Amino acid sequence: MTDPTMRITRRDFARFSLAASAAMLGGSRTLRAAPPSGEPIRIGVLHSLSGTMAISETTLKDVILMLVELQNRKGGVLGRPLEAVVVDPASNWPLFAEKARQLLAVDKVSATFGCWTSVSRKAVLPVFEELDGILFYPVQYEGQECSRNVFYMGAAPNQQAIPAVDYLLSEDGGGAKRFALVGTDYVYPRTTNQILQSYLKQKGISDADVMVNYTPFGQSDWQTIVSQIKTFGSAGRKTAVISTINGDANVPFYKELAAQGISATDIPVMAFSVGEEELAGMDTKPLVGQLAAWNYFQSIDTPANQAFIQEWRAFTKNPRRTTNDPMEAHYIGFNLWVQAVTKAGTTDHDKVIETMVGLKQPNLTGSVAEVLPNHHITKPVYIGEIQEDGQFNVVWQTPRAVPGQAWSPFVPETRNLIGDWRAPIRCGNYDTVKKACLGTRHV
């Protein structure tokens, strides 16, 4: 590490790849703008750097730091440098609200990038609405929410869960007739499964063919549940598992599946929270063929994605670092915010929120993310199978980017709701039948 020649080459490499990516990102603009000057624009980074969620969220903090560095190299925003204010809410949900208040009231940040679990997002939501901040949320979630102050860069259920079920029902996906919905016991799996259950019913799957099972956070002993799944699968019809198991508990779950001899060709497992980062800590050989549904995979071969992976590896000084879906969501969110501020000519929260809707940003997989009136974006959906090397092999994808739906049409209470933050509706839960807004705020 202290060898000087080594350091020079690495720095050169970093510089080269940064220049290359600047060309990529900046398009026709000049490569090296004048160095930014003046009062820095502050942005908040609200990700857990310690505690249970540090495993997933630390990476997202680093992504924002990288994007800020890149943007400053290109001259910042409005000629001013960007400055990231990093706080650590320590996987503690009430602390999320406290830190959010600190970012908005004390640090006066122009936008905040943060949260992973839905429970942390629910905790900061009142703070962002009260102090009129802007939150970019990068993770796929359960929907049923539409706040004026949040931009949802991750997938809504119709951009992940529903297409994944469609794939499992299809011939290529094995034509599943029985479904085991296995998840961690908290808001995201419960809401998603509620949507999926009513969707499966519409698809002609009877209640007897659906098994639902919840486990506590950090469950490490899956023996009983895996053997229950095995028994459930012996009814003579193709069975599939839909997993909303949270990060930590996945490794022992997959290990137990492999130990009990369940392979993906017998009972495939479709996971909504297992990405490249989670697989990095697993022996993937017994998992080959298990499925995941995301809007981005590291293995998707586009020039933009290659450049992004290269930048990321140079930034983290680790030539084998993986990328994943929430990282792409932050990439999209950050660039959309830069566009909005540039277009509005100010960092004023109200003006930026007004400007956001309709903006377009190329994503890393070759299509375009457009900000919709409900503050969600358009995203392509990919189904990947786990390969021996821990990467995903895309076996199915939607023909075009899918617009995100805030409210599920498969839940009776929200069937008629839409979110539209443009004039004249300006409402997060507008009832299209009663032609009325159910509340000025989100729910």
Partner 1 sequence: MSERRRRVALLVLLGVVLAGAPAPSRAQTSDRTTSDAASPVDPFAGLTSPHFEAIAAAVGRLGAEGAPQAQAVLRALSAHHLFVAEDGGLYVREGESWTDARTGAPVASAPAGARMVRENNRVRGALAQAMAGQALLGGDAAARRDAAVRLADHPDPAMLPVVERALATPHEAGLDVPLQRARAAMLLSPGAPTTGEQAQSAAVRVLRDAGGLDARAVLARFAADEAAPAEARKAARRAIVTIDRRIRLWNLGQQVFYGLSLGSVLLLAAMGLAITFGVMGIINMAHGELVMLGAYTTYLTQKTLTAVAPGLAAFSLPLAVPVAFLVCGAAGMLIERGLIRFLYGRPLETLLATWGLSLVLQQAVRSLFGPTNVAVATPGWLAGSFQLGGLTITLDRFAIMLFAGAVMGAVLLVLRRTALGLQMRAVTQNRRMAALMGIRTARVDALTFGLGSGVAGLAGVAVSQIDNVSPNLGQGYIIDSFLVVVFGGVGNLWGTLAAAMTLGVGGKALEPLVGAVSGKILLLLLVILFIQRHPRGMFPLRGRGVES
Site residues for partner 1 per CB under 8 A: 50-52, 54-55, 58-59, 171-174, 185, 213-216, 218-221, 223-225, 227-228, 230-231, 233-237, 248, 251-252, 255-256, 258-261, 264-266, 268, 277-278, 280-283, 286, 288-289, 291, 385, 393, 395
Task: Say if residues 314 and 294 touch (Cβ distance below 8 Å).
Answer: no
Q: Which residue has the tokens 């229950």?
A: 228
The nearer residue to partner 1, 121 or 321, going by C-beta atoms, is: 321
The answer, yes or no, to whether the previous bond of 424 is cis (omega within 30 of 0) is: yes
The nearer residue to partner 1, 124 or 264, going by C-beta atoms, is: 264
Phi, psi of 381 (to 5 degrees): -115, 130
The nearer residue to partner 1, 111 or 258, going by C-beta atoms, is: 258
CB of 238 to partner 1, least distance (A): 10
The nearer residue to partner 1, 380 or 384, going by C-beta atoms, is: 384
The nearer residue to partner 1, 133 or 275, going by C-beta atoms, is: 275
CB of 96 to partner 1, least distance (A): 18
CB of 326 to partner 1, least distance (A): 14
Among candidates 408, 151, 410, which has minimal Cα distance to 418?
408
CB of 157 to partner 1, least distance (A): 23
The nearer residue to partner 1, 162 or 287, going by C-beta atoms, is: 287
CB of 179 to partner 1, least distance (A): 16
The nearer residue to partner 1, 27 or 399, going by C-beta atoms, is: 399
Is residue 391 classed as helix, strand or coil in its secondary structure? coil
In whole angstroms, give the CA distance from residue 213 to residue 220. 15
CB of 184 to partner 1, least distance (A): 10
Q: Residue 435: enclosing H or E segment and its boundaries?
A: none
The nearer residue to partner 1, 53 or 352, going by C-beta atoms, is: 53
How does 414-441 read in b/e, with b if 16+ C-beta sit within 10 Å? beebbbbbeeeeebbbbbeeeeebeeeb
Q: State the burial class of residue 345 (Cβ atoms within 10 Å of its Cβ: 0-12, 13-18, 19+).
A: exposed
In whole angstroms, give the CA distance from residue 40 to residue 227. 57
Q: Residue 361: enclosing H or E segment and its boundaries?
A: strand 360-362
Angle, helix 303-316 to helix 4-26, in steps of 10 degrees: 150
Is residue 28 classed as helix, strand or coil in its secondary structure? coil
CB of 193 to partner 1, least distance (A): 14
